[in-house]
Amino acid sequence: MNEIKVFVPATVSNVSCGFDIMGFPVSAPGDVMVFRRTEEPVVTITEVRGAEGIPLDARRNVAGVVTRAMLEERGMPFGVEIALEKGIRPGSGIGSSGASAAGAAWAVNQLLGEAYGDEQLVEFAMLGEQSISGALHADNVAPALMGGFILISRYDPLTLVRLHYPADLWCAVFHPFVEIKTKDAREILRKELSLREAVKQWGNVAGLVAGLQREDYTLIARSMEDVVAEPVRSLLIPGYEEIKQNALEAGALGCSISGSGPAVFALCRGEENARQVREAMEQAYRHRQVEWRSYASPIAAEGVKILS
């Protein structure tokens, strides 16, 4: 195989209470990435379309960082040219850097004849995330690579768990165009929690996992509460409380920040409710002079997809 074109979906990470440990892909938006094998053992970014400010220097580009790490581990058997078409805006909170990292890990693995398994690919993809956010987190790259609702139950050793979820679990996403860099959104987090807060958070995580497994919508709804990131990060999102309130009033199971924001997501029961919730979230921005996009999508069972 000399050339491969892939679609990489956006992802919702954290999923309210699961800071750094849970995520799932949505069906849209996503990035399209083309990888071409070259004889000269060099990694080059030939083109970035659809977004500004993404470096063409492979050492500073998330996809470049992952590709280089994978090829270097194999002794640079060949080089790769990468062309990116960003459908996911950087700084959106729906896994823009995660998509570049996951797409690179998946596609380069194909060019290498599937030399690596899922866990190794997630480890490589995390290097891309680290290069931009300073932190090794897998809650965007693991679901983007693997599809479905993924739990990272441990980082050391990396332990990935595919969670069961109800077939009619949908998600509405509202993305106001205010850029928030994950690195900044991590720096403002409190570094310590009280025991009372920790008990609340791990109870909610356990409740959400059990609710998904048992298809218990009441338990899912009750567990979608985050005392770690949301109280601080929501202050960076204009109109956050109104977006959330509108989503809940329209019947969402729960609503919180997608990844590090500014996108806001809501879990919903079924497509119709997801569309109603999406519209309700949009209402919160009717009078604001800020552009936005919104989406309604099932939890995507598939991650990276081969286009050609």
CB nearer ligand HSE, residue 15 or residue 280: 15
From the candidates 81, 129, 242, 291, which is the catalytic residue? Answer: 129
Q: DSSP label at 191?
A: S
Number of other CB atoms surrounding residue 242 within 10 Å: 14
Select from 30-38, 77-85, 133-141, 202-210 the region that touches ligand HSE (CB under 6 A): 133-141
Rounded Cα distance, 52 and 49, in Å: 8
User: Angle, nearest 10°, between helix axes 96-111 and 62-73?
Assistant: 30
- Please report whether residue 86 would count as binding ligand HSE according to CB under 6 A: no
Phi and psi based region of residue 275 (left: phi greater than 0; alpha: psi -120 to 50; beta: remaining): alpha
Q: Is 81 in the site for ligand HSE (CB under 6 A)?
A: no
Q: Does 260 bind ligand HSE (CB under 6 A)?
A: yes
Residue of 73, 182, 197, 218 marked catalytic: 182
| Binding span for ligand HSE by CB under 6 A among 116-124, 172-180, 182-190, 263-271 | 182-190
| Closer Cβ to ligand HSE, 77 or 155, answer by number | 155
Q: Which residues neighbour 14 within 8 Å (Cβ) at sequence distance 6 or greater?
A: 20, 22, 23, 139, 226, 229, 256, 257, 258, 259
**Per CB under 6 A, 137 contacts ligand HSE:** yes
Segment interacting with ligand HSE (CB under 6 A) among 14-22, 195-203, 220-228, 268-276: 14-22
Choose the binding region for ligand HSE from 43-51, 62-70, 77-85, 135-143 (rule: CB under 6 A): 135-143
Per CB under 6 A, 14 contacts ligand HSE: yes
Number of residues this chain uses to bind ligand HSE (CB under 6 A): 14
Residue located via tokens 């990131």: 229
Mark whether 271 is an active-site residue: no
Q: Are 74 and 80 in contact (CB under 8 A)?
A: no
Does residue 67 touch ligand HSE according to CB under 6 A? no
Site map 91..110 versus ligand HSE, x via CB under 6 A: ----x---------------
Q: Specify the DSSP class assigned to residue 195.
A: H
Kind plus residue range of the DSSP H or E element containing 109: helix 96-111
- Give the amino acid at 57: D
Does position 20 bind ligand HSE by CB under 6 A? yes
Cβ pair 45, 253 in contact under 8 A: no
Residue owning tokens 């994978």 = 70
Reading the block at residue 275, the tokens are: 């569309």
Which positions are catalytic?
129, 182
Interacting residues with ligand HSE (CB under 6 A): 13-14, 19-20, 95, 137, 139-140, 182, 185-186, 229, 259-260
